[in-house]
Each structure stands twice: as C-alpha cells, then as structure tokens.
Amino acid sequence: MSEAMNNEYGADQIQILEGLEAVRKRPGMYIGSTSVRGLHHLVYEIVDNSVDEALAGFCDTIIVTINKDNSITVVDNGRGIPVGINSKAGIPAVEVVFTVLHAGGKFGGGGYKVSGGLHGVGASVVNALSNWLEVFIYNEGHVYKQRYERGKVIYPLKIVEDCEAEKTGTKVVFMPDDTIFEETVFDFDTLKQRLREMAFLTKNLKIILRDERPEEPVEKQFHYEGGIKEFVTYLNKSKTPLYEDVLYFEGKKDNVYVEVAMQHNDSYNESVFSFVNNITTPEGGTHLTGYRNAITKTFNDYARNAKLLKDSEPNLSGDDIREGLTAIVSIKIEEPQFEGQTKQKLGNSEARGAVDSIVSEQLTYYLEQNPSIAKQICEKSILAQRAREAARKARDLTRRKTALEGMALPGKLADCSDKDPKNCEIFIVEGDSAGGSAKTARSRATQAILPLRGKILNVEKARLDKIYGNAEIKAMITAFGTGIHDDFDISKLRYDKIIIMTDADVDGAHIATLMLTFIYRFMPDLIKEGHVYLAQPPLYKLEKNKKIWYCYSDDELNKLLVEVGRDSNNKIQRYKGLGEMDAEQLWETTMDPKSRTLLRVNMDEESVSELDLTFTTLMGDKVEPRREFIEENAKFVKNLDI
C-alpha cells in the first residue's frame, strides 16, 4: 500500500461541495452526537487525516497531546496540507480544507487512493465545532499558520517562522466548543484504545499519545511492525492459543487490498473484528461475508480430503469453525459504500470476492504445509459440532416441553399482570430471602421478580450444551422470552427493563458480572438497545430523631452527616445485603420508579474489541492478565469489601 502515488496532491486536488453553518446547527448529523463520544470523534477525524498520509506512504509518526487546558494537539510528519491557492475557491487549499464542508483530497480520486475520512467532512467539522483551531504547516523551509474561531477565519494564512528545509508536516491545535458539547473533558483511556487500534491497523506507523494534565504527564507509544498479527496476539492475551502461529494473509484483487490475521484459542467465543480503511464496521458487511465463506469452505474441503470428516458426517458449519477464533479482517478500498448513515456495514460487492479468493487460496496452502495445526483446528471444530448438536437436542427438548405446557414460565418467577412489555420490568434478584422481600414490595401490575439461587454458570468457560443444561440460565432465557444466540428475537422480549438487583458487596458484584457476561455473549442486542439496568440499593441508612435517610455512597453519607450533625443520636446501619431491608424499605429505596436510581448498561460499538478483551480477562481461565487488570484499575475502586 505504501507505494507513493503517481498523481499530484496539490491545491487543486481539494474538491469543494458546500458551506459550514449546517454543522453547528445539526452537529449530530456529522459526528454522531454531542456527547462524550462525539467529543472524542473530533480527535479521530484529525488523526484520520494523518493516517491517510501514512497509508499513502508519506508519514510514519503521529503525536496526539491532550494539553493542560483540555485542548488537543495533533502533529504528523506527512507532506503537510497544501498551502497553494485552490483555483476554484481562490483561497489557499488549507483554508478550503478547514472551512468548506465536503472538501478534501478524497473525492476526485487524485489526492488519495484510500482514506478513512470518507465523507470529507473531517477537518472542517472539527473546525466548526471548536471554540478555536490553529493549523501550522511545515513546508519548504517555512512554517505557515492560520487561526479560526468557531469555523470563521481570523486572519489569512501567513508565514510565522522558518524551519529546516527538509521538515514537512501538519500540526493542528483545537479547543472543542463548550456551548455544543455536553462534556469537554477528554478521556485518556478512550483515546488510548482507539489510537492503539489505528496503530495495529497501519503497520509501522508510530502513534504517541501524551496527557499533559496530570502533575506527572503520561505518555503511551503504539508502534506495531507486525500490524494486525500483533493485534490478534493482543486480543488473545487472556486466552490460551491453540497453536503458536498467527495466520496472516494479504493480497490485492479488483483494487481491494486485503489483510487478514487469525488464530484459534481454547475459548468458545468468536471474536472477529472487521475494518474498512481503518474504520471499524461493527455490523460487518461484504468483506466479513467473504471471509466467513472462505474459511468455512476451505476447512471443510481440507477435513474431507484429510479424512478427518467421514463421508457420512455432515459438513462443519461456520459457527463450528469459528468457535474460539480471534481474527481481524482489514481491507482498503477506493470507494467504500456503507449501508446506513452510521458507516457500520460495508456494501461493496467486489470486497466479498476479493477477501474470499485471497483467504481461500492462501489458507489452503497454509493448511497443506502445516498439517498438525490444520488437524488441531478441525478437531476443535468437530467437537464444537457435536456440542452444538447436543445443545440443539436440549433446545428442541425444552421447546417441545414448552409447546406441551403452553410456554410454561419458570416456577419461581413472580410475573406481573400487565401483558404489554413496554410497561413491564423484571428484577433478577440473588437469593430467596431478597426474592421474598422483593415479591412483597413490588408493584404487581408491572414488576416481575425472578429469584436466582447462588451464582449462575460462568458462560465464558462453557459450551452451549452446558449452558442449556443450567437451570438458572434456563429460567432467565424462558422469562425474557427472546431465545438466545441464533434463535434470538428481540420482538419477543417480555419486559422493557431487565434490572439486575444484587447485594452491594463483592459477591453481589460477582453475580452481576456473571449475568452481564451471559447477556453480552448470548443476547448482546438487549444491551445495545438499552434494556439492561443495574439497580442501586443504598449502602447506608441513617436514623435520627425519628427521621430516616438513605445514602448510596460514602460521599453521600459524609455530606449528610455534615448537614444533620455528627452526634450520639445518629443511628447508622451499613446494608450488607438486600435481605436486611424489609419490603417497604426495599420498595422505597430500590424499586419505586419515582425514587430509585437505575444504571443503564451501555455498550460502545466503537470499542467492541476492547470490551471483548475485558470480559475474557475478568471471566476467562488465565490468572496473569486478570492480576494485571486489577493492578491497573485498583486506583478506581470505590467500595472495597474486605
């Protein structure tokens, strides 16, 4: 990909489409939202432009700094945005890039072969949504500078100083507009995840992230010579790989550049992530379809030829082969077409054929040359096939039973009387004693209670057949009504809110994590669509002069004690479990929609690979990565229960 391009990248390659006020009126249309997520998008848009220079072969280092005042500086050593006059606009090309919407070297086919900033709205949108933005360009021994405020030019492009003749590049400094964004504080970890991903996807590109805000500035460097091969190793670090090699295939066909890295591990979950021009495609698309077709066909052909599958046995399904597979599918394509406004699913038909043919051909060679690895993968897939068959039988059995029993709900479920799911919510409660108080406390019309006995199965370490055999999980599946995995159908959901209500101690947190692991792995759409919540029971009860207050954190308790005064009349009770509250207290503090606090469980689709890794680290078999995770995050612990 790094061959320099034949065409010019000069002032006239920047094409103009329309004006900027629209962005300030409807920022959500351009960056998704004005929340924290949109705020971080500003950084990605500017970094994307530098990555495009790297993809074109002209830049190898990008430095991103969060400055003390929460502004951002992005510096690259590419060619620098052109400073010549753009003939159509009559102003310098750099000014066009920052002040004209839909301007960029990405439309006419001349400037860039492939690029991530697809809508060409990148730089100008960041400019429109910033209090101020300054751009510096290093070119031919001069440093050019221009400043904008809320998208308006403050002074024409000018030379402010000289630099070494061979120094080239662009520096952009911007301060997000606090009248548009709900939050203007950047999160180091969010940027770290995304920049790490960008560095994995662009091999040999060095990205440095600095945070100047703490007393001791923090710096992280990302530089991966192995590119996506190292990405797979990183994602598999909490699992045990099935074989040492990370399989890597690359090639170009029909103008589509394809890179794939893959490795199986001993888990039962598939972690396959796809990217187009370095943009994540959470909903997949034609490139992912091509990849799946290729591995399913290639492994089946190999297993038949090597007599690992008998003639009488059915083919392995894609799910069987992808059990425990971690893979990255990354393609670069000149004119990507995305389905849906959110750029989340690729639609180009040529991508399917290109990925399919490159992976099929190179994987076939690899399996022939490495028969022992091929055999290991096929044997794991055959075991997965048998487990899937056993799970299907178990599922059919439960289906047949429920058909006979007229969809019998679990015996311990206290259901609500309202039959409209929109009005209903289900509380999943640990233990029968808390379940008892919850059943007494609830509003029978709209609140259902499902008590679970003890800790549910850790699904991170179990196959489907085990999961269907677990009574507590079966009770949840039947109560929710949606089915799981391939049978999942959100339209059958029986409750609008699924509320996990556990004790405010370590065991309670563990049970909540086990439940979230189950929902994330088998019903992720419930989280994506915002149906899953965590109840927040109080930690303390303060009684004084016949008055009662409840506090949900140590801070809240301390503030309250300052207010009411610390003296011997204070009776403070620390709740260890839900069972210590009577029904009335439980209703008032945790279940009454008028006064309770619920935490909605959210899932950011842009950092799915990191989320997947966190679940594996916390719930998988390997101890070492878990210890590292605890050491790194110990400083954030709020309530330590010893």
- Round to whole Å and give the CA distance between 629 and 618: 8
The amino acid at 41: H
Separation of CA 542 from chain center: 40
- Round to whole Å and give the CA distance between 502 and 536: 9
Residue 502 tokens, joined = 């556990």
Exposure of 105 in the CB half-sphere (CA atoms within 13 A): 26
Among 197, 503, 606, 610, which one carries the catalytic annotation? 503
Q: Do residues 103 and 128 lie in contact, with contact meaning Cβ atoms separated by under 8 Å?
A: no
Whether 465 is a known active-site residue: answer no
Residue 166 tokens, joined = 């061979």
- Provide the terminal-to-terminal Cα distance of the chain, rounded to the nearest Å: 55
Whether 503 is a known active-site residue: answer yes
- Cα torsion 49, 51, 54, 56: sign: negative
Among 230, 430, 472, 610, which one carries the catalytic annotation? 430
What are the distances in angstroms from CA 171 to CA 136, 142, 166, 174, 418?
Answer: 5, 13, 16, 10, 60
Whether 507 is a known active-site residue: answer yes
Q: Which residues in 551-571 are b (16+ Cβ under 10 Å) and which e?
A: bbeeebbeebbeeeeeeeeee
Q: Do residues 536 and 552 lie in contact, with contact meaning Cβ atoms separated by under 8 Å?
A: yes
Whether 582 is a known active-site residue: answer no
Among 149, 187, 339, 505, which one carries the catalytic annotation? 505
- Round to whole Å and give the CA distance between 573 and 473: 34
For residue 582, count other CB atoms closer than 10 A to its CB.
11
Mapping DSSP to helix (H, G, I), strand (E, B) and coil, where does residue 22 land? helix
Residue appearing with tokens 């429109």: 128
- Round to whole Å and give the CA distance between 495 and 450: 12
Among 507, 556, 592, 604, which one carries the catalytic annotation? 507
Q: Do residues 357 and 252 lie in contact, with contact meaning Cβ atoms separated by under 8 Å?
A: no
Helix or strand run (H / E) with residue 633: helix 623-633
Exposure of 626 in the CB half-sphere (CA atoms within 13 A): 10
Q: Long-range CB contacts (< 8 A, 24+ apart) of 188-192?
A: 188/66, 188/218, 190/36, 190/40, 190/607, 191/40, 191/43, 191/64, 191/66, 192/220
Closest of 42, 207, 208 to residue 128, by C-alpha: 42
DSSP 186: P
Residue 256 tokens, joined = 């589509």
Please list the active-site residues: 430, 503, 505, 507
